[in-house]
Amino acid sequence: MTEELDITETLDVTGVSCPIPVVKTKQATDGLSEGEILEVVATDSGSMSDIRGWAESTDGVTLLEQTEDGDEYRHYVEKTA
């Protein structure tokens, strides 16, 4: 599925932990237009739950997918409004 996503921007938050991945993701999505997709690359295992929780209670964003590969966690967030 990941290959099919048309990623607009990639945010690298590897090596930083809570709350930075969520806060930087918010800042990055603020700069996107409707329909654009942000890829977030993190190493914080808490980011799986945190980014999901953030996306669920934040208007204008949708979490499309999350993947886990070893110590690397990727999140795909679409700006919807």
Tell me which of 57, 69, 70, 81 binds other proteins, using CB under 8 A.
57
Catalytically annotated residue among 5, 7, 18, 23: 18
**How is residue 42 written in tokens?**
């993190």
Q: Positive or negative, the Cα torsion across 57, 62, 66, 72?
A: negative
Tell me which of 2, 10, 17, 67 binds other proteins, using CB under 8 A.
17
Nearest to other proteins of 28, 37 (CB atom): 28
DSSP 7-28: EEEEEEETT--TTHHHHHHHHH
What residue ranges bind other proteins (CB under 8 A)? 15-20, 22-23, 25-27, 54, 57-59
